[in-house]
């Protein structure tokens, strides 16, 4: 029985080593070398828009997003609103340009980690569910498809991390991710908002699109929490699968380089 256990452990170690290999066509960097890390991150996005299954990095071009309750007013009084996004898919992350990376020192907890980037067009597509009551209007109870386009989407992400040890290796664990977002324009289309009145559906969509800044300002806290989960779904797996030190050049590699 011991022999079988030995075999299983060896197999697991082998699989572990095999899984953790960093793609050879991506340049490794020295700890804390921001410009190099920026270049490698952009190289990764360009060469692997479909992700890297061996490292559990999911596709960047088609990213499913968890269902999200964006507005949930208490349903009392003359005006309240409920808005939920369902079955949403995010398109466009493959076109991200990383503009700056800071931190990622040998001791990653020593300095603040920041990732800055921009995306020409980020699309959110899926279903929505809306309920509500407006003072001057009928009750709303609609569902349909929705599409949001975020144009010139710029983000700054700040990470708080700690290190975990597994098999004598250091793994980065993110315990806080704070996104900051700016954009030039938000275009939204909610299909079927007034099921019986297409003209009104157009009117409400136009109203939204003319006043998108006000909507953005009001919804921003919820949207930032949503993007926190989106960004985490992209980077958590990488740090969970590849030991922190395997992402960087070893001392011996620096000397020979």
Ligand X SMILES: *[C@@H]1O[C@H](CO)[C@@H](O)[C@H](O)[C@H]1NC(C)=O
Residue (31 or 189) nearer to ligand X, CB? 189
CB of 60 to ligand X, least distance (A): 10
CB of 91 to ligand X, least distance (A): 4
- Say if residues 175 and 144 touch (Cβ distance below 8 Å): no
In angstroms, the Cα distances linking 112 to 32, 157, 162 are 11, 11, 12
User: Which positions touch ligand X (CB under 6 A)?
Assistant: 69, 72, 74, 91-92, 95, 121, 123
- Name 84's bridge partners: 69, 129
Residue (95 or 158) nearer to ligand X, CB? 95
CB of 121 to ligand X, least distance (A): 4
CB of 64 to ligand X, least distance (A): 15
**Residue-by-residue DSSP string for 91-143:** E-GGG-EEEEEE---SSTTSS-EEEEEEEEEEEEEEEEEEEEE-TTS-EEEEE
Residue (123 or 200) nearer to ligand X, CB? 123
Give the residue nearest to ligand X (CB): 92
Residue (40 or 90) nearer to ligand X, CB? 90
CB of 214 to ligand X, least distance (A): 23
Alpha carbons 62 and 125: distance in angstroms, whole number: 10
- Say if residues 157 and 109 touch (Cβ distance below 8 Å): no
Residue (96 or 201) nearer to ligand X, CB? 96
- Say if residues 94 and 62 touch (Cβ distance below 8 Å): no
Which is nearest to 81 in space by CA: 199, 202, 218? 218
């Amino acid at each position: 029985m011991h022999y079988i256990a030995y075999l299983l452990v060896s197999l697991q170690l082998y699989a572990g080593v095999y899984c953790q290999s960093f793609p050879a066509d991506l340049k490794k960097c020295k700890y804390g070398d921001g410009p190099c890390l920026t270049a490698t991150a952009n190289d990764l996005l360009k060469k692997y828009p479909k992700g890297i299954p061996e490292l559990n990095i999911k596709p960047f071009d088609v990213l499913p997003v968890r269902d999200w309750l964006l507005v949930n007013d208490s349903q009392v009084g003359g005006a309240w609103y409920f808005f939920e996004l369902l079955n949403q898919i995010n398109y466009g992350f493959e076109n991200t340009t990383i503009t700056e990376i800071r931190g990622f020192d040998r001791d990653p907890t020593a300095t603040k980690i920041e990732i800055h980037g921009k995306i020409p067009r980020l699309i959110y597509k899926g279903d929505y569910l809306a309920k509500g009551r407006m003072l001057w209007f009928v009750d709303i109870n609609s569902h349909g498809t929705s599409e949001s386009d975020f144009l010139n989407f710029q983000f700054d992400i700040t990470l708080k991390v700690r290190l975990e040890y597994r098999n004598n290796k250091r793994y980065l664990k993110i315990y806080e991710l704070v996104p900051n977002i700016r954009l030039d324009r938000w275009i939204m289309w909610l299909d079927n908002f007034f099921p019986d009145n297409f003209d009104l559906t157009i009117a409400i969509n136009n109203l939204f699109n003319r006043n998108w800044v006000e909507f953005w300002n009001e919804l921003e806290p919820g949207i930032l929490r949503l993007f926190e989960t989106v960004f985490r779904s992209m980077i958590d797996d990488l740090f969970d699968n590849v030991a922190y030190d395997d992402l960087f050049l070893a001392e011996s590699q620096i000397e020979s380089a």
